[in-house]
Structure 1
Amino acid sequence: MTDTHFPLEPTAADAQVAIADEFGFFGDWSERYQYLIDLGRKLPDFPDAWKTEAHRLHGCQSLVWIVAEGDANALVFHAISDSAIVSGLIYLALRVYSGRSAREIAATQPDYIAHIGLSKHLSPTRSNGLAALLAFIHERAGAALQQ
């Protein structure tokens, strides 16, 4: 399965700017959380057959499954969660990283998290889960670069 909605922007940097711009439209965090939930609903379909322990991302309080495909030229990530807010966090990470080269992924720090204020407004368990998601993405990029 390689069909994906990502990348939306030409570069990871462009994606991070777009995310910051979009979240800048909202005045308070209740609106931002609602937008995050809405983004999570836009995630591409994730086959039930992939919802296995082998694809489960550990380190998250919520259930999260992630599958990586591709090589150093382009890594595509598919992921889903049983949590609406976590699905939104996944959407943002995939928007920045999925469909990019391993080199671009490895060189891109997730600056959007601080720029939109997520780092101040996520619970510790969600912050840990987001860190696990980003670590998975960067680890796959590093492995692809070594092949």
Structure 2
Amino acid sequence: MSKSIQEIQEEIIDEFSMFDDWMQRYEYMIELGKSLPLIDEKYKIEENLIKGCQSKVWVHAELNGEKLEFTADSDAIITKGIVAILIRAFSGHHPSDILEADTQFIDEIGLKEHLSPTRANGLVSMIKQLKMYAIAYQTQLK
């Protein structure tokens, strides 16, 4: 049985709570970015770019049965770590579960307050885009 979005978010909160300071958390985010399921080069196109991000972030979504699978990449290592966290939380779930999920875990790990304003805006844009994909694919499932 696969884990719920909530369970994955709680795991992420637990992992981040193991680090004492933000330098360690940034290093961990960079590590997460390296483990990101990489987007196929053919999807690194303008329409897959997240609007509102300072760095380039591409996200591709594909329906696999009734589950939405995300792949992504970024040209910035911290941003790649951020998108890796989001994809870990939301990829492999039904579009309706993605839409219903909250993103409170982002606040609980303290991410927003430790990002520059432009990165924080980018984070919000990434979440919006993942939810937009979920809306688009949910209509296909009905």
TM-score range, shorter chain: over 0.9
Distance 1:113 1:47 in 2: 27
What does residue 133 of structure 2 align with? 140
Distance 2:60 2:135 in 1: 16
**Which amino acid counterpart does residue 15 of structure 1 have in structure 2?**
I
- Unaligned ranges ≥5, structure 2: none
* Structure 1 residue 71: Cα displacement: 6.6
Q: Percent identity?
A: 38
TM-score by length of structure 1 reads 0.89
Distance 2:134 2:13 in 1: 24
TM-score by length of structure 2 reads 0.92
* Structure 1 residue 67: Cα displacement: 0.7
Distance 1:96 1:134 in 2: 11
Distance 1:25 1:105 in 2: 27
Tell me the C-alpha RMSD between the 2 structures: 1.4
* Structure 1 residue 141: Cα displacement: 1.2
SS in 1 for 2:85: helix
SS in 2 for 1:75: strand
Q: Structure 1: which 4+ aligned runs deviate by more than 6 Å?
A: none
Confirm whether residue 20 of structure 1 aligns to residue 8 of structure 2.
no
Count of residue pairs the alignment pairs up: 139
Match of 1:47 among 36, 40, 44: 40
Confirm whether residue 121 of structure 1 aligns to residue 114 of structure 2.
yes
Distance 2:112 2:50 in 1: 20
Confirm whether residue 66 of structure 1 aligns to residue 59 of structure 2.
yes
* Structure 1 residue 51: Cα displacement: 1.4
What does residue 36 of structure 1 align with? 29
**Greater share of residues in helix:** 2
Match of 1:78 among 66, 71, 81: 71
* 8 A contact 2:13–2:108 mirrored in 1: yes
Distance 2:59 2:5 in 1: 19
* Structure 1 residue 45: Cα displacement: 2.7
* 8 A contact 1:72–1:103 mirrored in 2: no
* Structure 1 residue 139: Cα displacement: 1.2
SS in 1 for 2:89: helix
- Unaligned ranges ≥5, structure 1: 1-8
What does residue 3 of structure 1 align with? none
Map 1:84-103 → 2, pairs under 5 A: 84-103=77-96
